Amino acid sequence: MIPVWPASLPQRILAEGFNEGFREGRLQTAPERGVPKLRRGSSAVGKPILQSIKVDAEQFTTLERFWEVDTGGGVRPFWFPDQTRGGIPILTTAGEPILTPYGAPLLNAKWWLVQFGGTAPSAGTRTRGMSYVVPVPMTVLYSWAA
């Protein structure tokens, strides 16, 4: 079974430093002379995401356990909430949000299948060890709407 990002960790990343790259599946061939040639090498390429989360000491421990146990040291893929297209209100044809019986907007649930990026998460302490900002680079392998 594919692990899911723990609910006790932040479900939204920090806007500061967020970067979503393009999928890069091109191959470059350098001829003896002239301009290098570019061609598509593969369409099975992940999308790089640079992001950070803010966690407290308990959440940092949860993140460490998720890294070590659930993803096998950061190598297994896992489900992570889509940060760019998930959580958006579903609208009627008139542009009004559809509401639940309790008056809350009905949100689009979208998930990314990701792997941790090339470097392990590392914590920078803030407020004397009470909270941490953790860069969590990821590669999006697949996007899925629930």
pLDDT attached to residue 59: 94
- Taking 80 as the threshold, does the pLDDT of residue 54 lie above it? yes
- 48-68 as b/e: b if 16+ CB within 10 A: bbebbbebeeebbeebeebbe
pLDDT attached to residue 37: 85
Question: Looking at the chain, how many residues does it have?
Answer: 146
Give pLDDT tens digits for 23-46. 777 788 888 888 888 887 777 778
pLDDT attached to residue 126: 65
pLDDT attached to residue 127: 62
Give pLDDT tens digits for 84-123. 877 777 788 888 888 888 988 888 788 899 999 888 888 8
Average pLDDT along the chain:
85
DSSP string, the chain: ---B--TTS-SS--STT-EEPPP--EEEE--SSSSPEEEE--S---EEEE-EEEEEHHHHHHHHHIIIIITTTTTS-EEEE-TTTTTPBPB-TTSPBPB-TTSPBPB--EEEEEEE-SS----EEETTTTEEEEE--EEEEEEEE-
- Taking 60 as the threshold, does the pLDDT of residue 146 lie above it? no
pLDDT attached to residue 124: 75
Query: Rounded distance, CA 37 to CA 115, Å?
Result: 30
Q: Categorize the per-residue pLDDT at 129 as very low, low, confident or very high, splitting at 50, 70 and 90.
A: low
Query: Rounded distance, CA 89 to CA 135, Å?
Result: 28
Of 14-23, 62-71, 95-104, 125-134, the one with minimum mean pLDDT is 125-134
Average pLDDT over residues 77-90: 84
